[in-house]
Structure 1
Amino acid sequence: MNRIFSGVQPTGNLHLGNYLGAIRNWVRLQDQFDCIFCIVDLHAITVWQDPAELRKSTREVTAAYLAAGIDGKKHIVFNQSQVPGHAQLAWIFNCVARLGWLNRMTQFKEKSGKQRENASAGLYVYPNLMAADILLYKATHVPVGEDQKQHVELARDIAQKFNNDFGVNLFPLPEPMIQGAAARVMSLRDGTKKMSKSDPSDMSRINMTDDADLVAQKIRKAKTDPHPLPGPEALGAGGQVKDEALTARPEAFNLLGIYAALSDRPLAAVIAEFEGKEFSAFKQALTDLAVATLGKIGNEMKRLLADPAEIDGVLRHGAERARAVSTPILREVEDVVGFLRP
């Protein structure tokens, strides 16, 4: 059976964009793949983290996985630091990957910004760790957004170079599974900016821990414009919003896109239903849909977070299973490289 590996950094405040762009899609893949879902805490510390907050966020992300419907008994759910093989294989890949490859990685440039000389070495080589995350389990598929596709391509390059360097066929070349348009959810306060946990305004996002009342309040106060909702003329031949329409009314199309994603319907069908209507009526429909979908997830997250022992048990059991899968693969790699083991 094909195997999926994917993960989220434990940096807190998971929101609607994380749910629609990643976690919901993972839930749907559970019946088709052998799945490994990780909380990538080693990646998180490429920038400084408060230790207490890191532990809290690790539990919060785990709770989100479970509350959204990921089955921690059928599939593997664990935090990365509990499996030393990730760091061990990453070091080997540090010696396989080329500096030129890492220099082309766009996310390091974005995250380091003008302070590149002060960025950690871990931030520079973390794409090699991401490759190790995937290949430590010989994963065949990696669900990612378009902005992460480059990392999967690097993992393929590393796998291929390792296989060629040592004359083996040890690693598969993992395939990226690009998420759909729902992966890009914009701020409720500014439709030109992506919904983000780093936005100082909590009203800009719907958090996965928000209860029904707070979800309703945020949608009610979401930024709109004074015009009735647009019609099909705003869409191009492929069903995507025309650039000029999106530029003119970003908040309208953001809310319509959220409704389409939550209802699992094409955007064209949603626009046809609400064409010409006022935002007040549409916002009520969106509120009802969002509360029905997210309210139960938020409630279950709160229940789980009130009992950290349950979450810790899932992570401990998942780490045991992850080590059982990864240890033989790591030993195979070490034998190929020439490491002497008693």
Structure 2
Amino acid sequence: MAMFSQRVFSGVQPTGNLHLGNYLGAITRFVSLQDQFDCIYCVVDMHAITVAQDPAELTRHIREVTAAFLACGIDPKRHIVFNQSQVSEHAELAWVFNCVARIGWLNRMTQFKEKAGKDRENASLGLYAYPSLMAADILVYRATHVPVGEDQKQHLELTRDVAQKFNNDFATSIAAHGFGEAFFPLTEPLIQGPATRVMSLRDGSKKMSKSDPSDYSRINLTDGPDAIAQKIRRAKTDAEPLPGEEAGLAARPEADNLLGIYAALAGTTKGAVLEDFAGAQFSAFKSALVDLAVAKLGPIGSEMQRLVGDPAYIDQVLADGADRARLIARSTMDDVKDIVGFIRKR
């Protein structure tokens, strides 16, 4: 059995308007993983252009996601923070994987069907081949673990399939080059814990989303204390007091959402929150949630705004991270070329 050093990779698309759902669903987990693994966190700007982008907006969004990483506590000196397009090995390995992955695998990807919609013939080839590039993002660093939400599980399964097929297809060459039985690891998912699925503040049946036309549906990471307070106070609820146990939230999606947000921000469980607020009216609970959210998110928003105001610093962080990422990626790509049979400069 091949042994691989423990390494986490994850990427975030620079789509703008990062919100509480992104923070609780992904970024807080990124921060906590820093104490357990060597971490590589990537702003996946090459994935972003699978759909049309305004170039100036894309530049701004890359810096904004980087600012969010840093403001939330990711350490770019201990770990690696960079944007994907600065490391060309992602694209190189993606092409090799395009020749390993099977059309049938990609045809089963539900995200392509959702994003392409009814006009699939007019979707870009990049959108279709997105999972192959995602596999390259992970495996160019031979990452052993990836934190994933429900919507990314299928893509990670494809990454594992690609790694397994590469290892099988080139087994003789892999062994001949001294890599044992497998060159790529079968990357394991780090499944998100509870209370990471954050719903709209206006409709508890929909995920919190940057694309919702109402800004009151979400708490943006750049929102100041006044905006945070106003959005929580205007969040949709119902007329009933808070129940004494979680079973009482079953048919109350808005109540369940606000309880989940409180629990996630406080680092506790919904059950523990209900013990404190059982029988309380929402006015009292919302006041407590405002205080907690402002205390947790206010400093992040302030630091993000400070960092976004210093683009030269952000660009330097990304350049430094890319230099370090490239050393790992280039080593992997050199080995892949040898395994596949390409001739490369020595």
**TM bucket by the smaller chain?**
over 0.9
In structure 2, C-alpha distance between the alignment counterparts of 1:185 and 1:341, rounded to whole Å: 48
In structure 2, C-alpha distance between the alignment counterparts of 1:8 and 1:319, rounded to whole Å: 15
Same amino acid, percent of matched pairs? 71
Amino acid across the alignment from 1:170: F
Amino acid across the alignment from 1:135: L
Deviations 1:163-196 (A, max 9, x none): 1101131101100111122221000011111000
| Correspondence for 1:299 among 295, 302, 311 | 302
In structure 1, C-alpha distance between the alignment counterparts of 2:211 and 2:243, rounded to whole Å: 31
In structure 2, C-alpha distance between the alignment counterparts of 1:201 and 1:83, rounded to whole Å: 37
In structure 1, C-alpha distance between the alignment counterparts of 2:27 and 2:9, rounded to whole Å: 12
Match for residue 32 of structure 1? 36
User: Does residue 230 of structure 2 align to residue 226 of structure 1?
Assistant: no
In structure 1, C-alpha distance between the alignment counterparts of 2:336 and 2:343, rounded to whole Å: 12
Q: Which runs of 4+ in 1 moved over 3 A?
A: none
Amino acid across the alignment from 1:151: H
In structure 2, C-alpha distance between the alignment counterparts of 1:50 and 1:181, rounded to whole Å: 36
Match for residue 332 of structure 2? 329
In structure 1, C-alpha distance between the alignment counterparts of 2:106 and 2:297, rounded to whole Å: 38
Amino acid across the alignment from 1:7: G
Structure 1: runs of 5+ lacking an equivalent:
236-240
SS at 1:183 equivalent:
coil
User: Does residue 266 of structure 2 align to residue 253 of structure 1?
Assistant: no
Match for residue 187 of structure 1? 200
Map 1:192-231; keep pairs closer than 5 Å.
192-231=205-244
SS at 2:296 equivalent:
helix
Deviations 1:291-314 (A, max 9, x none): 110000000000001111110010
Deviations 1:194-223 (A, max 9, x none): 000110111100000111111011101111
* TM-fit CA distance, 1:275: 1.1
* TM-fit CA distance, 1:226: 1.0
What is the aligned-residue RMSD (CA, Å)?
Answer: 0.9
In structure 1, C-alpha distance between the alignment counterparts of 2:65 and 2:344, rounded to whole Å: 37
SS at 2:94 equivalent:
helix
Deviations 1:88-143 (A, max 9, x none): 10000000000111111111111111111111110011000000000000000000
User: Does residue 98 of structure 2 align to residue 85 of structure 1?
Assistant: no
SS at 1:176 equivalent:
strand
**Superposition TM-score, scaled by structure 2 size:** 0.94
User: Does residue 50 of structure 2 align to residue 57 of structure 1?
Assistant: no
Q: Answer yes or no: is the 8 Å Cα contact 2:196–2:264 preserved in 1.
A: no
User: Does residue 150 of structure 2 align to residue 146 of structure 1?
Assistant: yes
Structure 2: runs of 5+ lacking an equivalent:
175-181
Amino acid across the alignment from 1:223: K
In structure 2, C-alpha distance between the alignment counterparts of 1:109 and 1:115, rounded to whole Å: 10
Match for residue 286 of structure 1? 289
Q: Answer yes or no: is the 8 Å Cα contact 2:222–2:302 preserved in 1.
A: yes
Amino acid across the alignment from 2:234: K
Amino acid across the alignment from 1:206: I
Match for residue 133 of structure 1? 137
SS at 1:276 equivalent:
coil
Match for residue 276 of structure 1? 279
* TM-fit CA distance, 1:231: 2.0
Deviations 1:251-300 (A, max 9, x none): 11100010011101111111121111000100010001001100000000
Match for residue 127 of structure 2? 123
Q: Answer yes or no: is the 8 Å Cα contact 2:6–2:145 preserved in 1.
A: yes
SS at 2:118 equivalent:
helix
Match for residue 178 of structure 1? 191
| Correspondence for 2:311 among 297, 308, 313 | 308
SS at 1:251 equivalent:
helix
In structure 1, C-alpha distance between the alignment counterparts of 2:293 and 2:153, rounded to whole Å: 29
In structure 1, C-alpha distance between the alignment counterparts of 2:22 and 2:322, rounded to whole Å: 23
In structure 1, C-alpha distance between the alignment counterparts of 2:195 and 2:144, rounded to whole Å: 23
SS at 2:203 equivalent:
coil
| Correspondence for 2:49 among 32, 35, 45 | 45
SS at 2:9 equivalent:
strand
SS at 2:117 equivalent:
helix
**Superposition TM-score, scaled by structure 1 size:** 0.96
* TM-fit CA distance, 1:230: 1.8
Deviations 1:140-161 (A, max 9, x none): 0000102211111111110010
| Correspondence for 2:167 among 144, 163, 176 | 163
User: Does residue 118 of structure 2 align to residue 114 of structure 1?
Assistant: yes
